[in-house]
């Protein structure tokens, strides 16, 4: 049915249902934030999104014959994939596409957690890196006032669509096509800065353009999934300090600068050793954020299955050409094979041992400090011992 979007009571019920789903989860909604989810509709921002069918991503429109199912999916607390390998769902063939998702509408509960941490008040000047569908920008417009919101996206298609849909709801923020990490308006200063894509380190431009007392909420992630969300406050000396939120987040990387990723070399037959740890440990989100702290900034991780169907992880550091393969064996053990000057799996084994000795510390027990020159994450153990890592 295609007229379901004309049923205002149905749409109100959908927004109420979504707000209740968020509130029943781990996010305690303030009255202000609940009001935003109750008043800002999601469906105008995701008229077409992908659903996964096997190896393919199939675009789903309300006109595809199941209007109620489509609307239920939109107002379910889940992320919706809107772009795969640069192909927006609205431009995809009905038969779908294959590839890697490159843009999505974030799960509303994760949006709520980040917006709660951002603590937006009416009149705050807000900068958002990663306009995406525009839905999060609409929330910011509702909270701060649309004339106080700037949102940036590197995709000209996403930028145009976000602007059109925001305007369609009566919001008129500044929507820019550009590099969210580099193209911050030069003379602007912001009370709140948020990113809806992950970065390996917080861009210096965001620290420079944040006012003293301002808040930044930034997903920090490297090659591993299950990254961190940092919440920082800008101090008078220019330093930003804060904590890591409890919520793991695997945001897609912010597109900035060169996007060419080095390819790991083939690791031919070489001497190998027994591994203390399977490569699958990096898929454990309770550990992966900690493991990332022990990885060089440019390290790349890929993974897949061997001919026997067993897990294989490859680590590659383009800085010195080191590459390491960790391959599970049928007997239940894992083997490590390395090429180049370093064994890249040894630091992961040591990190896992430390993580266990520290009783598997949670994300929210870590603090973060950032300047334009250096960024560090710190954990203080109950015995007072301080552990510190440079991002």
- Please say if the pLDDT value at position 261 is more than 70: no
* Span 13-56, pLDDT tens digits: 999 999 999 999 878 899 999 999 999 999 999 999 999 999 99
Distance CA 391, CA 371 (A): 11
Q: Which two tokens stand for residue 103?
A: 């843009």
Prediction pTM value: 0.93
The confidence score (pLDDT) of residue 1 equals 42
> How many residues are listed for the chain in this entry?
391
Domains of the chain: 3-92+102-244 (3.40.50.150), 272-355 (3.30.160), 358-390 (no CATH)
Question: What 8-state DSSP symbol labels residue 294?
Answer: T
Mapped onto helix, strand or coil, the DSSP state of residue 9 is helix
Distance CA 295, CA 298 (A): 8
Distance CA 27, CA 35 (A): 14
Mean pLDDT of 324-335: 94
| Whole-number Cα distances in Å, 123 to 31, 120, 148, 168 | 18, 9, 6, 22
The confidence score (pLDDT) of residue 334 equals 96
The confidence score (pLDDT) of residue 250 equals 84
pLDDT-based confidence at 212, cuts 50/70/90? Answer: very high
* Span 336-381, pLDDT tens digits: 999 999 999 999 999 999 999 999 999 999 999 999 999 999 999 9
Give the count of beta carbons closer than 10 Å to the beta carbon of residue 177: 17
Name the region of 209 (left: φ>0; alpha: ψ -120 to 50; beta: rest): alpha
The confidence score (pLDDT) of residue 178 equals 96
């Amino acid at each position: 049915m295609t007229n379901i979007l004309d049923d205002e009571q149905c749409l109100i019920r959908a927004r109420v249902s979504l707000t209740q789903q968020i509130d029943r989860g781990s996010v305690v909604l303030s009255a202000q934030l609940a009001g935003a989810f109750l008043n800002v509709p999601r469906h105008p921002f995701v008229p077409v999104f992908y659903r996964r069918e096997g190896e393919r991503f199939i675009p789903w429109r309300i006109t595809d014959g199941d209007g109620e199912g489509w609307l239920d999916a939109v107002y379910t607390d889940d992320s919706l994939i809107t772009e795969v390998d640069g192909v927006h769902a609205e431009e995809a063939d009905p038969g779908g596409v294959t590839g890697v998702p490159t843009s999505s509408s974030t799960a509303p509960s994760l949006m709520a957690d980040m917006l709660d941490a951002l603590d937006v008040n009416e009149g705050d000047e807000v900068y958002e890196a990663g306009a995406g569908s525009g839905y999060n920008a609409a929330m910011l417009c509702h909270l701060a006032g649309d004339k106080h919101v700037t949102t940036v996206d590197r995709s000209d298609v996403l930028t145009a669509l976000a602007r059109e849909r925001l305007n369609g709801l009566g919001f008129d923020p500044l929507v820019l096509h550009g590099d969210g990490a580099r193209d911050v308006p030069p003379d602007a200063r912001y009370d709140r800065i948020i990113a809806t894509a992950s970065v390996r380190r917080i861009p210096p431009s965001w620290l420079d353009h944040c006012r003293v007392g301002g808040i930044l909420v930034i997903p920090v992630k490297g090659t591993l999934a299950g990254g961190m969300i940092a919440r920082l406050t800008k101090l008078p000396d220019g330093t930003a300090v804060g904590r890591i939120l409890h919520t793991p987040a695997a945001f897609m990387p912010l597109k900035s600068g060169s996007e060419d990723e080095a390819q790991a070399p083939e690791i031919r037959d070489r001497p190998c050793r027994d591994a203390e740890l399977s490569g699958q440990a990096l898929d454990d989100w309770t550990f992966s954020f900690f493991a990332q702290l022990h990885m060089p900034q440019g390290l790349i991780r890929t993974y897949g299955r061997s001919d026997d169907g067993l897990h294989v992880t490859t680590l590659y550091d383009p800085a010195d050409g080191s590459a390491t393969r960790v391959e599970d064996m049928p007997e239940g053990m894992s083997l490590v094979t390395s090429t180049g000057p370093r064994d890249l799996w040894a630091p992961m084994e040591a990190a896992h041992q430390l993580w266990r000795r520290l009783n598997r510390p949670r994300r929210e027990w870590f603090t973060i400090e950032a300047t334009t020159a250096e960024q560090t994450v710190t954990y203080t153990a109950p015995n007072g011992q301080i552990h510190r890592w440079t991002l």
